[in-house]
Amino acid sequence: MRIVLLGAPGSGKGTQAQRLQAEHGFTQLSTGDLLRSAVAQRTALGLEAKAAMDAGALVSNQIVLGMIGERLAEPDTAAGYVLDGFPRNLEQARALEAMLAELGQALDAVVLMRVDFEILMKRLTGRRTCSKTGKVLNVYFSSKAELDECIAAGGELLQRDDDNEETIGRRLKVYDSETAPLVDHYRDAGLLRVVEARGSVEEVYARFLAALGINVQ
Ligand code: AMP
């Protein structure tokens, strides 16, 4: 399956995509992760993207489209993938359609993760990534055992640079003005499925699989 995950920052796209990759073999393609890795490696592209990311703005379509075009051409996408954080505006959505047409592929579903503003804020301010395992955790919602597991493995709980209140506010505004219009775009295309993204990771994952029509054994 080829899936797009839509939803505000903090709606749980990355967590659910990671899980779907681990359990069902769909490759997670996260433009945020690709950009953070370019920033960490100090590539020219990363340096250019960093200012926009720190400001909570979108990185230019030119950079993001180049990156995702290369990634979609890699062999691990053949068994299906979940696009996480892409597309984020109409121009990117149209460019994706053109890229897929060129590859002779089509999207199977676009899943909107719907969640209230108060929950988004807690998910974003509390979010931490384990430096050892890459697992996304949350100081408000993860169990003590999960948090301790990272430390016991020799990892640190890292907070993303853009997960501070000021930048979070800007990212949520950008979502409303630039990304939310994609909901109507994909509803009109007959691809949209909506998942209520409140509750535990387990609960959301069960709704997510149901929305995709994937049976749980
Ligand atoms: P994310 O990890 O998806 O929350 O993305 C983190 C940041 O990376 C965003 O706030 C943007 O600055 C940038 N970014 C990620 N994906 C895109 C995209 N598709 N288009 C433009 N900017 C993006």
What are 33-64's pLDDT values in tens digits?
A: 999 999 999 999 999 999 999 999 999 999 99
Ligand 1 atom with the shortest distance to the CA of 52: 12
Question: Does the beta carbon of 93 lie inside 6 Å of ligand 1?
Answer: no
**pLDDT score of 75 more than 80:** yes
Angle of the 117-125 helix axis to the 165-174 helix axis, nearest 10: 130
What are 21-32's pLDDT values in tens digits?
A: 999 999 999 999
Instruction: Summarize the confidence of residues 73-100 as an average pLDDT.
Output: 96
pLDDT of amino acid 130:
96
Q: Which residue's alpha carbon is at the smallest distance from atom 8 of ligand 1?
A: 32
Question: Does the beta carbon of 52 lie inside 6 Å of ligand 1?
Answer: yes
Confidence bin at 217 (pLDDT 50/70/90): low
- Please report, rounded to a whole number, the percentage of residues in the chain having pLDDT higher than 90: 93
* Residue 217 one-letter amino acid: Q
pLDDT of amino acid 215:
80
Cα-based distances in Å from 195 to 109, 125, 140, 186: 12, 22, 22, 14
Which H or E run contains 91? Answer: helix 90-103
Which of the residues are catalytic? 13, 88, 127, 160, 171
Look up the pTM and report it: 0.91
pLDDT of amino acid 197:
96
Which structural domains are found in the chain, ordered by start?
Answer: 2-115+179-212 (3.40.50.300)
- Please report, rounded to a whole number, the percentage of residues in the chain having pLDDT higher than 70: 100
What are 108-152's pLDDT values in tens digits?
A: 999 999 999 889 999 999 999 999 998 889 999 999 999 999 999
